[in-house]
Amino acid sequence: MNKANRGWVLESYPVGTDFESALKLRDIAMPEPGPGQMLVRSLYLSLDPANRGWMMMPTYIPQVPLGATMWGFVLGRVERSNLPGFAAGDLVSGFGAWADYCLMGADMTNKLPDLGGLPLYAAQSLFGLSGGTAYVGVVDIAKAKAGEVLVVSGAAGSVGSLVGQIAKIQGCTVIGIAGSPEKCTWLTDELGFDHAIDYRSEDVAARLKALCPKGVDIYFDNVGGPLTNAIASCMALRGRIVLCGSMAKFANPGPELDLGPILLNRVTVQGFILIDHFDRLDAANAALADWAASGKLKHKADIVDGLENTVAAFRMLFTPGAPHMGKLLVRVDPAAL
Ligand SMILES: NC(=O)c1ccc[n+]([C@@H]2O[C@H](COP(=O)([O-])OP(=O)(O)OC[C@H]3O[C@@H](n4cnc5c(N)ncnc54)[C@H](OP(=O)(O)O)[C@@H]3O)[C@@H](O)[C@H]2O)c1
């Protein structure tokens, strides 16, 4: 094969959010699929805050080594396959790399489900990591019930925007926390959140105490940092905090969780990682598809064109008040819809 390949190579570990110094776009070799692998042409890259964690330390996957093409979730088309059950031409979503072409193995790789006429990017904006995390987090971990108050941070992001809508479907009162007036208006006017608070210009604890004098039953924490302590001080007796992400620490390592209010209000704090719940993805995808088809749930992709713009786009995830809403994707192949 004589096609060219480019990839973002991790040349040093980033300090804070200085990704431009750490990652460089290079011409790289076309990878050769070994046994149990396939060569995939990238159509969309899913940009996920977790990618930053993979550069920092071993997590549920090893740390990305220096010199490697940056790992990430990719939606693409199989070019050649040595993986049983997958053939050239299949559309797949899985663990790949920030490159024009990458290798995928069986681990965390799926053929795309029937998208029922939805655009291809719905595999990332509605299903996949974002939808699965939101569904499992609200339904299985938080066990949200009608009449409860659920607060979600990172609410205009990919996971948060689905969390709030799923909680509304469960009958909760939903309050979203986001970083701009535009995002707050989108949450209330388009997605049906009951209230939205701009954490960059408002006193979050004061607003929450005014909006829900009996306290917050569920806090779905997508960001960590100072917001977690502000919201933890507003919890109802026997409330639940679901720890989904702690991305605020990458830009500014902040204070640890203050356990005082947690103790006094007998709050349960539970972290979860979607990889422990892959057996729930079929149920999640079925529910998400139904809700989207009936108009109860909206999903949005913010699409940046061009592999060369990946790192600039990635920075937006860690920039409070950045303009993107919904799922942030890079379209690698301009022909992808
Ligand atoms: N546990 C799991 O299995 C799992 C799976 C997927 C994702 N996650 C986690 O879920 C969280 C959300 O992921 P996502 O893909 O949906 O990202 P995202 O919300 O689409 O993007 C992140 C948003 O968070 C906000 N933000 C950034 N820094 C912030 C800060 N210091 N304080 C408050 N808000 C900040 C920004 O919006 P504003 O303008 O509103 O500030 C940013 O746009 C991440 O922490 C991610 O790691 C966990």
pLDDT tens for 112-140 read: 978 888 999 999 999 989 999 999 999 99
- pLDDT of 334 reads 83
* Topology annotation, domain 128-275: Rossmann fold (3.40.50)
Task: Output the pLDDT for position 254.
Answer: 67
Q: Provide the pLDDT confidence category of residue 2 given band limits of 50, 70 and 90.
A: low
For tokens 């819809």, name the residue.
337
User: How many angstroms is it from 89 CA to the middle of ligand 1?
Assistant: 33
Every domain of the chain with CATH number 3.90.180.10 lies at 6-122+300-331
Q: How does residue 309 score in pLDDT terms, banded at 50, 70 and 90?
A: very high
Residue 193's closest CA among 178, 172, 174, 218?
Answer: 174
46, 54, 127, 247: residue to mutate for ligand 1 pocket, most atoms within 8 A of CB: 247
Nearest-atom number in ligand 1 for the CA of 321 is: 39
Q: Considering the chain, what percentage of its residues have pLDDT values greater than 90?
A: 88
Q: What is the pLDDT of residue 284?
A: 96
Ligand 1 environment, Cβ below 6 A: 48-50, 129, 133, 153-154, 156-160, 178-180, 183, 222-223, 225, 227, 244-245, 247-248, 251, 272-274, 317-318, 320-322, 324, 328
Residue in the structure block whose two tokens are 């995939």: 40
Q: Fold for 6-122+300-331, please state it.
A: Quinone Oxidoreductase; Chain A, domain 1 (3.90.180)
Q: Measuring from atom 30 of ligand 1, which residue has the nearest CA?
A: 248
Handedness of CA 39, 45, 50, 55 (dihedral sign): positive
Q: What end-to-end distance do the CA atoms of the chain give, in Å?
A: 26
pLDDT grade for 17, boundaries at 50, 70 and 90 = confident
For residues 261 and 254, is the Cβ–Cβ distance under 8 A? no
- Per the rule left: phi > 0, alpha: psi between -120 and 50, beta: everything else, 306 is left
Q: Where in the chain is the domain with CATH 3.40.50.720?
A: 128-275
Q: Which residue has the tokens 């899913």?
A: 46
46 CA distance to ligand 1 middle (Å): 13
| pLDDT beyond 90 at 3 | no
Structure tokens at 165: 């809508």
CA–centroid distance, residue 277 to ligand 1 (Å):
20
Query: For position 291, what pLDDT does the model report?
Result: 97
167-195, pLDDT tens digit by residue?
A: 999 999 999 999 999 999 999 999 999 99
